[in-house]
């Protein structure tokens, strides 16, 4: 049982001014596994005040000084890597192998990349007799989601600190353990008091307070479109910068010459292995009509061999959904798929046999899906694939773009020139071709209702910078 009774404010662990306690359950068992104290608006005020005080000196540090700080953070991060992996499995239900092999390494990349960016970035540029300076924007309010409890808090924090901003982090209510370990890492690394602050709490309280706070210069939000709208409305009166990374309904286009084994591997890696709880999950698979049944014949045996179960077991390849609420949401979408006439190929309603406890769902594939169906239009955030047949590549591109989202897309095809030509026509922020390795340091963000701004690497850091012009002297 985890017990977390304090927030991290101004370089010390402190009890909230107006505490409430939240109980959390293990997604794999439903059993209570933690009690976490939540802060309130007064704690946000205290955190922002500490961050404002620290900003005066921290914003004036040199890139070399910030490099040295982040290098110490990296050492402490590596020392806590197994603690982070165990926390991710416990709070999210991700298989331990995935936590160790993806969640924790992706966070490490963010620290290492921020260091490398600082080594080469020029904060001052002369254009003739005009000096162009890039300066830290101010206090950064960071609001992160539950599905990537290491990557998101670490990525946002490293970009902000690299820029010279100070931070108030509000992690997801359902997955606070990793963020608490991050605060311990920052403390052990000797991050100056007030430069990093952690306030656990409800989005409707802490997120709203950060968004509207006049002392916050930028809010970086990752989560749902509905919540992002509320953040933007709350931030508007203070005209602060707001960046957002939101949902998706990512298409996966199989070109006529696609290697079906590669296509299936993409679906397993980016949809099923993460229980579909990925904003860029390839949940719409677009297949040439002439190869539809061939594709299903390759896909279904692989899906049916997924080992759903205890995320701590070595042979588990798919863990539970995060909560009972999310399980019910996914069941509702499966029911809608059936009601709207999609063909259920495998999976379906209910829990896998022998997994009545916890929030486990069946890996599910629908075929004969029309892009107008609910399961093809709305983000499910569960292990549900919609297979849509197309007749021409132009039609596939049209279907891919027929969505209010634009976060990511996937293209599988043997002719790489043709695959790249298709990728260039899809209105999204990130496209994966075939079995390309994901670049965790590349700019990440979406088009349309998938958000604005970019995270990670150089582009992530520059979101936290303001431009100043100096003439004369």
User: Catalytic positions, please?
Assistant: 245, 279
> What SS3 state is found at 208?
helix
Q: Are 149 and 83 in contact (CB under 8 A)?
A: no
Gap between the Cα atoms of 455 and 406, Å rounded: 15
Q: Are 101 and 443 in contact (CB under 8 A)?
A: no
Gap between the Cα atoms of 378 and 449, Å rounded: 12
**DSSP string computed for 349-381:** SSPPTT--SS-----EEEES--TTSHHHHS---
| E strand or H helix that includes residue 32 | strand 32-38
Q: Are 149 and 178 in contact (CB under 8 A)?
A: yes
Q: Could you give the angle at the alpha carbon of 339 between the alpha carbons of 322 and 305, nearest 5°?
A: 50
Per the listing, tokens 């904003």 go with: 279
Contacts of 120 (CB under 8 A, 6+ apart): none
Query: Tokens in use for 191?
Result: 């991050």
Gap between the terminal Cα atoms of the chain: 62
- 355 phi, psi to nearest 5 deg: -125, 50
Gap between the Cα atoms of 374 and 369, Å rounded: 10
Gap between the Cα atoms of 208 and 221, Å rounded: 11
Gap between the Cα atoms of 111 and 260, Å rounded: 36
Length of the chain: 473
Name the residue among 415, 400, 387, 417 with its Cα closest to residue 257: 415
Gap between the Cα atoms of 431 and 112, Å rounded: 24
Gap between the Cα atoms of 170 and 38, Å rounded: 10
Identify each DSSP E strand in 173-265 by its residue range. 196-198, 216-222, 241-245, 251-254
Gap between the Cα atoms of 114 and 456, Å rounded: 8
* Helices 151-163, 177-188: inter-axial angle, 10-degree rounding: 40
């Amino acid at each position: 049982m985890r017990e977390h009774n304090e927030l991290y404010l101004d370089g010390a662990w402190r009890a909230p001014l107006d505490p409430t306690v939240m109980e959390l359950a293990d997604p794999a068992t439903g059993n209570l596994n933690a009690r976490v104290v939540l802060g309130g608006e007064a704690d946000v005020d205290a955190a922002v005040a500490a961050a404002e005080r620290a900003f005066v000196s921290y914003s004036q540090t040199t890139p070399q000084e910030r490099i040295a700080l982040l290098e110490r953070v990296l050492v402490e991060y590596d020392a806590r890597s197994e603690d982070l992996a165990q926390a991710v499995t416990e709070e999210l239900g991700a298989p331990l192998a995935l936590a160790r092999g993806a969640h924790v390494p992706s966070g490490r990349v963010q620290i290492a990349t921020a260091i490398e960016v600082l080594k080469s970035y020029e904060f001052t540029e002369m254009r003739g007799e005009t000096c162009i300076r890039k300066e830290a924007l101010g206090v950064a309010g960071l609001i992160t989601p539950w599905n990537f409890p290491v990557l998101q808090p670490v990525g946002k924090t490293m970009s902000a600190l690299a820029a010279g901003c100070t931070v108030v982090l509000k992690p997801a209510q359902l997955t606070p353990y990793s963020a608490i370990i991050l605060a311990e890492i920052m403390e052990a690394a000797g991050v100056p008091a007030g430069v990093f602050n952690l306030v656990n709490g409800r989005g409707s309280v802490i997120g709203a307070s950060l968004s509207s706070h006049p002392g916050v210069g930028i809010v970086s939000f990752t989560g749902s479109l509905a919540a992002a709208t509320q953040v933007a409305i709350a931030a508007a009166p203070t005209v602060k910068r707001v960046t957002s990374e939101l949902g998706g309904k990512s298409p996966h286009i199989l070109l006529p010459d696609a290697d079906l084994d590669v296509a299936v591997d993409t679906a397993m890696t980016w949809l099923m292995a993460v229980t579909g709880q990925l904003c860029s999950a390839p949940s719409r698979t677009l297949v040439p009509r002439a190869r539809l049944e061939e594709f299903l014949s390759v896909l279904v045996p692989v899906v049916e061999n997924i080992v759903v179960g205890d995320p701590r077991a070595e042979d588990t390849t798919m863990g539970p959904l995060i909560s009972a609420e999310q399980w019910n949401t996914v069941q509702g979408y499966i029911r809608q798929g059936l009601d709207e006439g999609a063909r259920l190929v495998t999976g379906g309603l209910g829990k896998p046999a022998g997994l009545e406890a916890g929030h486990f769902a069946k890996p599910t594939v629908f075929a004969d899906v029309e892009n107008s169906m609910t399961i093809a239009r709305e983000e499910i955030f569960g292990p549900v694939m919609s297979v849509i047949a197309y007749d021409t590549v132009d039609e596939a591109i049209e279907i891919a773009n027929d969505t209010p989202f634009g976060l990511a897309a996937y293209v599988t095809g043997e002719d790489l020139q043709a695959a790249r030509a298709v990728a260039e026509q899809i209105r999204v922020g990130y496209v994966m071709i075939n079995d390309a390795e994901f670049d965790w340091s590349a700019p990440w963000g979406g088009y349309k209702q998938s958000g604005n701004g970019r995270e990670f690497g150089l582009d992530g850091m520059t979101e936290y910078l303001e431009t100043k012009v100096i003439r004369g002297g």
